[in-house]
A = this chain, B = another copy of it.
Amino acid sequence: MRSHRLALFVLLNAGVIGFVGQVPVAAQPPAGAARSGRRPAAVRSPQILADHRVTFQLRAPKATEVVVAGQWPNGRAPMTKDANEVWTVTAGPIPAGVWEYSFQVDGVQMIDPGNPAIKPMREPRTSILHIPGEPPLPHDFQNVPHGTVRQHTYLSKSLGRLRELVVYTPPGYDKQTDARFPTLYLQHGMGDNQATWVVHGKAHWILDNLIAQGKAQPLVVVMMDGHASIAQGMAGFQNNTTAFERDLIEDVMPFVEANYRVKTDAADRAIAGLSMGGGQSLTIGLNHLDRFAWVAGFSSAVPAREVIAGFLNDSAVANAKLKLLWIGIGKDDFLLKQNETFIATLKEKNIRHEWHLTDGSHSWPVWRLYLADLAPKLFQ
């Protein structure tokens, strides 16, 4: 039987696992490798070396140009083709962080197919390179009690179709069956989906670490799919916040409050988001101060004045009901100007707020820091 095991190994490694029905969709081996039993040169990507240089590889025999484009400093590097038709480059050293990168193969942007860590996006073309820090960074997994990330599919009555939902419960949630927890509704950006704040943003580890340090209250975090409107183009964009608000208030909040042990006062609910999700959070939060006393926008597509006119025109109510209005953006962000205008409006109306003008661009390294700044201020 030993020979059977060997045969299986060769078959599996030669791409037979890539069988799709009767059509062999070989993974990386050249055609015929499965039949001949020859294994092509191994392609491993990414390989993080001891000195934090990183080797990227892709087999693409017919390509004329392959580039790795990474988020780390000086992250763009041409790859060169070796004798085995494998394109390779060793980049860096790359600093510790959670970095995005793509391959550009004759101009087609794609994930690194050697890397199972993919940034969850509506159009997935981006891989994740996570280099933990020493000592660990605020978003790194640390040896502390950990919460749980839960996935649900629900039939949204307000939208009439299946939707996905991700919920973080804090360490101890399952054991403390008498306790109820405050809730943060946390939105992603336009390219992302409900999984991005965990898989790429590391929201769960950021919160685990802050809770372990006694800096943040244990809380439940609800992460929806921000794309509520099916309509494409401008009409879709304009209608999306409205559709998202309905799904949040009519479907998701009732679902969460029926299925999780959460507190239901406005003082125990926060809403925050980034970019498009910052616009959603500011629009919905500031129009529903009876539901959310904590509102935050990260690098937000800020709402038009008329969309939050009720809020802006009664600053006494706003200041009485809001526990915190947190606004942050990086100096190099293309949405800086509209956020500065928004802050000027808040000042003009004498509405209390925190304004965080930070280093950075419209990117996840900034948003991870914003969550780490915001979370300790919530529900205190």
B102 adjacent to A25 (CB under 8 Å): yes
**Residue-by-residue, is A48-90 near B (CB-CB < 8 Å gives 1, otherwise 0)?**
0000000000111111100001111101100000000000000
A153 to B118, CA, bound (A): 17
Kindly identify which residue among B20, B61, B71, B151 contacts A148, using a CB–CB cutoff of 8 Å.
B151
Q: Which residue of B lies closest to A66 (CB)?
A: B108
B111 adjacent to A122 (CB under 8 Å): no
Kindly identify which residue among B106, B148, B303, B334 contacts A63, using a CB–CB cutoff of 8 Å.
B106
**Residue-by-residue, is A27-52 near B (CB-CB < 8 Å gives 1, otherwise 0)?**
11010000000000010000000000
Given A27-B125, A110-B113, residue A304 in contact with residue B5 (CB < 8 A): yes
A334 to B257, CA, bound (A): 50
Complex copy number for this chain:
2
A237 to B6, CA, bound (A): 9
A109 to B62, CA, bound (A): 12
Within 8 A of B (CB), among A305-342: 305-306, 334-335, 338, 341
B361 adjacent to A25 (CB under 8 Å): no
Given A125-B27, A191-B18, residue A150 in contact with residue B150 (CB < 8 A): yes
Contacts of A23 in B (CB 8 A): 69-71, 75-76
Q: Which of A20, A30, A73, A363 has the most CB of B within 10 A?
A: A20
B189 adjacent to A17 (CB under 8 Å): yes
A362 adjacent to B19 (CB under 8 Å): yes
**In whole Å, how far is A43's beta carbon from the nearest beta carbon of chain B?**
9
Q: Is A160 an interface residue (CB 8 A)?
A: no
Contacts of A170 in B (CB 8 A): none
A303 to B2, CA, bound (A): 9
Identify 15 new A-B residue pairs, CB closer than 8 A, beyond the known A20-B75, A30-B107, A111-B111. A1-B338, A4-B302, A5-B301, A8-B335, A11-B334, A17-B362, A20-B71, A20-B363, A21-B75, A23-B75, A105-B105, A111-B113, A118-B124, A148-B152, A150-B151
Interface residues of A (CB under 8 A from B): 1-2, 4-6, 8-9, 11-12, 16-23, 25-28, 30, 42, 58-64, 69-73, 75-76, 100-102, 104-111, 113-116, 118, 120-126, 141, 143, 146, 148-155, 162, 174, 177, 189-191, 193, 198, 232, 234, 237-238, 259, 275-276, 301-306, 334-335, 338, 341, 361-363
Contacts A/B (CB < 8 Å), 6 sampled: A2-B304, A8-B301, A25-B69, A26-B109, A60-B106, A105-B108
